Structure 1
């Protein structure tokens, strides 16, 4: 068969996501913190966007949409696209800077001199890290220079939890010192604060704390040395039999070990704790539940009138610059529309959830109903994928606490009084376990029977799966002997 080159015309349909639609989808699934960061980035990059303060009037989206239709580059004539009205007076670039500096501020554009001032970071306090804390203690010792050199290398190989991540052989090879000096340096650092620092494993960490508390030769040291697995599997009787000790003494020793710090370096961790900020509030006002969107941390935006007027000038900019301004203007308008649509979608989804879960908001978790994304999708006419984006990484605050929006979607279990939400069943299981006698914990079969007495039919393997999801150990590991 001969090869040949020819032209063909094919008609096909494709779904193409434009950059604007991709941006709208990303904004829809962003949580509060990420949205604020994205908007601040747009404020830096797009000159047509400016943050709205409380004193400035807010332009409605209808007005903004009306203006957005005027600079349309459909016919390719940029000069005609950006001419919005003949009533707008000529506005030169120099006039723009004169007006911005009319309040007496020196914006730096025409300043003759500039004196650099200290940055704000010079006035901030910083917390001492683990490495600095250990090096400070090393400087206070009177060890030899070789040991100090090895100890400094050792401190540099301690992770954020306080464990040494290099072996003795590796340190000897890198430092070029004898194994004896490296061993002495490790022992020196292990005497530093916090207790248990510079250990190679959990057992060594606990033994260092045993030595620091002067518990060597006691039952505590023996259990740490040989019976950590028995502690994990809750077998105090086996420990008592092994050492021919009273069960009460074993429980006392285990209680002391439980008070040790398994990660001595974490109190020096620089990881910042991030608190969840609710995206939606549901409050009861005058016997009626109201929905409030939380936009406190999100900058409010508007189109800069200064740059919009600059866009209308015919002779101020060349064709390339004017096209750049036109693109930025359209990008700003699309961002405002996307943010407005995001808020409307979140409100509608929350409103639909509140409609289906009204018993939850009135009475509590046990009255949570089974709910799927498809039900909400059909209710408000939005695709399930967008419902999933709206409910991802977003939280709702109500009288019963703060919950992720995904919390209100759950599968159903059959009961004598109809279907029951799996979320409410999990809450019931947690309540049953919290109220059980710790010296005689309930088995999975017993919990199944309690659920059936409350008209909830659940299989034992399903209960075991829910228990694992709730991170509740089996009854053999929940058992605690009374001291």
Structure 2
């Protein structure tokens, strides 16, 4: 048995593991270079697609990777990490020192420290405590305890309702609260739902975000096959825009919330 979720637009999300989901997992784990190679291969195998000349950096003339010159600039959350007397920090996070000092030349990964300080289960419980109380707390804790090693929920809603002696509507309501927690996409019942949750939590009204949402929501099978011409035709978008949106998906979304970096 499995549970299906209907989202806006009538799309039905299946919780069963499918070959397409496995392909999507592999696709979204690709590095920027490997993703670019996969797209280039799809273009070369379909003469109807056209590959525009690559954009180059105006300073060093290196080929840009998704609009970024890897030779001239550094990007990402770890690029701007700094340290003070209280620990390590960047613009949106802080990792407190744990009673010891660090040498200036010590190699340090703050995310490793963060992971060592708390488990995903503990982290989720801390967040959800402000959102639920009474019987809902038991349901929320059951959901959290049922997550797999990837941070996804494979236990059907009906089984959770039976175990917690409540209605499925209560489970659905609590599940939505758990799915609103950090890391984005946690407790999703499929990779597709996981990505849609993350897209829904992103701010801004950009063309990439809008097209990426449409691709994941409405053209999932074609995405898992990297069928650019099929997506472009069905989405009424250019191949260039589709490639850009797929790059946006690969750079910004994580199919495995528990492995967030």
Relative to the length of structure 1, the TM-score reads: 0.28
Q: CA shift at 1:203, angstroms?
A: 0.6
Which digits, 9 at most, give the CA deviation of each residue in 1:347-394, with x for residues without a partner?
xxxxxxxxxxxxxxxxxxxxxxxxxxxxxxxxxxxxxxxxxxxxxxxx
Aligned partners of 2:228, 2:248: CA distance in 1, in Å?
14
Aligned partners of 1:193, 1:159: CA distance in 2, in Å?
16
Aligned partners of 1:229, 1:155: CA distance in 2, in Å?
29
1:73-472 correspondence to structure 2 within 5 Å: 126-139=116-129, 141-214=130-203, 218-259=210-251, 260-267=253-260
State the match for 2:81 in structure 1.
none
Aligned partners of 1:215, 1:178: CA distance in 2, in Å?
36
Assess if the C-alpha contact under 8 Å between 2:216 and 2:223 holds in 1.
Answer: no
Assess if the C-alpha contact under 8 Å between 2:222 and 2:231 holds in 1.
Answer: yes
Assess if the C-alpha contact under 8 Å between 1:190 and 1:198 holds in 2.
Answer: yes
Secondary structure at 2:184 match in 1: coil
Which digits, 9 at most, give the CA deviation of each residue in 1:158-189, with x for residues without a partner?
11100112111001101111222111110000
Which digits, 9 at most, give the CA deviation of each residue in 1:234-254, with x for residues without a partner?
321221111211222211211
Secondary structure at 1:161 match in 2: coil
Secondary structure at 1:265 match in 2: helix
Aligned partners of 1:192, 1:180: CA distance in 2, in Å?
19
Cα distance change, pair 181–202 in 1 and its aligned pair in 2 (3 A): same
Relative to the length of structure 2, the TM-score reads: 0.51
Gaps of 5+ in 2: 1-98, 101-112
Q: CA shift at 1:144, angstroms?
A: 3.3
Which digits, 9 at most, give the CA deviation of each residue in 1:303-358, with x for residues without a partner?
xxxxxxxxxxxxxxxxxxxxxxxxxxxxxxxxxxxxxxxxxxxxxxxxxxxxxxxx
Which digits, 9 at most, give the CA deviation of each residue in 1:214-266, with x for residues without a partner?
47992212210232332333321221111211222211211111121011102
Gaps of 5+ in 1: 1-122, 269-483
Q: CA shift at 1:200, angstroms?
A: 0.9
Aligned length: 145
Assess if the C-alpha contact under 8 Å between 1:130 and 1:160 holds in 2.
Answer: no
Aligned partners of 2:119, 2:145: CA distance in 1, in Å?
12
Cα distance change, pair 267–220 in 1 and its aligned pair in 2 (3 A): closer
Aligned partners of 2:124, 2:213: CA distance in 1, in Å?
26
Does 1 or 2 have the higher relative contact order (CA < 8 Å, sep 6+)? Answer: 2
Assess if the C-alpha contact under 8 Å between 1:163 and 1:200 holds in 2.
Answer: yes
Assess if the C-alpha contact under 8 Å between 1:157 and 1:164 holds in 2.
Answer: yes
Secondary structure at 1:203 match in 2: helix
